[in-house]
Structure 1
């Protein structure tokens, strides 16, 4: 595969500086990659080589991770702030054309916040989501299933998400990461996801990123699950559902089509960290989705669409 030079830069929004990295085909459509917890932009290092010849690829360290700023207040990690960061990066790297977005884990959660904002379809051409739900959709789904006395799905997700209760407790939630979790992270992912530990290349900031990133859980989970908002989007969305995901169960997405008219579902026989363990599959599904959307647009512009 062709090796592309990485161009680093910073995008500033208020007091926050976001470390942004550009590579790939400068003439291709822009594909923005958004990582989750406790990763940095390096999460995508196995995915990028499969896409770099086709797309202009932009990744960034979200606030509180890697080389980006680390605000101290928990409120600084609320979803609206994270979505504004994403839009700031889009405006800086592609002011004249909408971008495609591929996101994982908390990167996916915050991208859901962005794509449901009014006018998002003018800035985001497509969104491929992996292992990170829209918290408002999830909250509504749980409440409705419980009201219907359909407990199986919510119970499965509650068990999978039980660790997040610990993460929301100040001081106590950070103890595993202060006591050395970062040192055994590849081994943990081998156990948790069944992946080849040699594929895991932790960032040097991992320990700090783990601790700071817990503020996302504290700022968002309880407010959104307790008081879910009505959130819709006209952005085309692809869900990559990892069948062996121990943290985010596919059943939690069964109602997503209510809020996303243009929705595609694809499954992988993968665990939570599929961008590492199944990088080629993630890249292929993302490129296929963008290509199919491009074909649909071309067909409609030529008068070949159906009424």
Structure 2
């Protein structure tokens, strides 16, 4: 597949590496990757969608070829939302676009999807395994009061969040992950061979920890009321080892135009089930166009 490379300077001086794919006269679709991935994780899905959309991808700050912030606070949701604005303004100008995101890409995209400043920009949002942290905090408070079983079930799935806050251990662990070792782990999680390999996994894992450290404690302890400004589709992965599908139950309280579809897949369905993920994104866009 052919793409064009771009370098985008953010409002606070970071440099983001972005790519555009396909015919720029087609409807625009922005894809935001999760952790510990970079924009290359979307390529199996881009293969399915490139004939129908003009696709924008980018390495989020701290991942891939983009620059690495020196301060933890520079990974804040507000900065990440500004990055989306910078990328889309540079590459799409005033065009509106559809948005799809996975894992941390989805978590950070919620900041924009619930910001009125994006109301004329984002046409639809497909979220995959990445709830709004504010919504998740409200959900967990409800479960702690009414159903502690569900609360502790999600807490157990989120063990890695606490681990990522360890000052020295967490970054050091990623030095031991070669692309081959990470690929084997993904194959075991997804029960599928020959998945795409992340050659930059050690750096993506190490520096992306800042996403967790900058945002989880502030948002989970002081959640904000955040309402979606566009239609939202939740693509629920039924066997997700890291995000409980039950968190999706909170979304209709914050999304006026909400729909849900379930897929029999694990957390990295973007690489193990790309045709199914792409089809759901496409059908949702069609329904909202």
TM-score, shorter chain, exceeding 0.5: yes
**Structure 2 gaps, min length 5:** none
Q: CA deviation at 1:195?
A: 2.6
Deviation at 1:183, TM superposition (A): 4.2
Q: Which residue of 1 aligns with 2:197?
A: 201
Query: Displacement of 1:185 after TM fit?
Result: 0.3
Query: Which residue of structure 2 lines up, in the alignment, with residue 265 of structure 1?
Result: 260
Q: CA deviation at 1:233?
A: 1.3
Query: Hey, what does 2:3 align to over in structure 1?
Result: 6
CA RMSD of aligned residues (A): 1.2
What 5-or-longer segments of structure 1 have no aligned partner?
A: 295-307
- What is the deviation of 1:181? 5.4
Task: Determine if the alignment matches structure 1 residue 117 to structure 2 residue 112.
Answer: no
Do 1:234 and 1:262's aligned partners in 2 also have CA atoms closer than 8 Å? Answer: no
TM-score by length of 1: 0.91
TM-score (norm 2): 0.97
* CA shift digits 1:56-106 (9 cap, x unpaired): 011000000111111111101011111110111111122222111110010
Structure-2 residue corresponding to 1:75: 73
**C-alpha deviations, 1:175-201, integer Å up to 9, x for none?**
3212335440011111223232x1222
Which residue of structure 1 aligns with residue 230 of structure 2? Answer: 235
Could you tell me how far apart the structure 2 residues matched to 1:153 and 1:130 are?
20
Q: 2: distance between equivalents of 1:183 and 1:218? A: 27
Whole-angstrom distance in 1 between the partners of 2:213 and 2:111 = 16
Aligned residues: 288
**What secondary structure does 1:113 align onto?**
helix
> Is contact 1:153-1:252 (8 Å) kept?
no
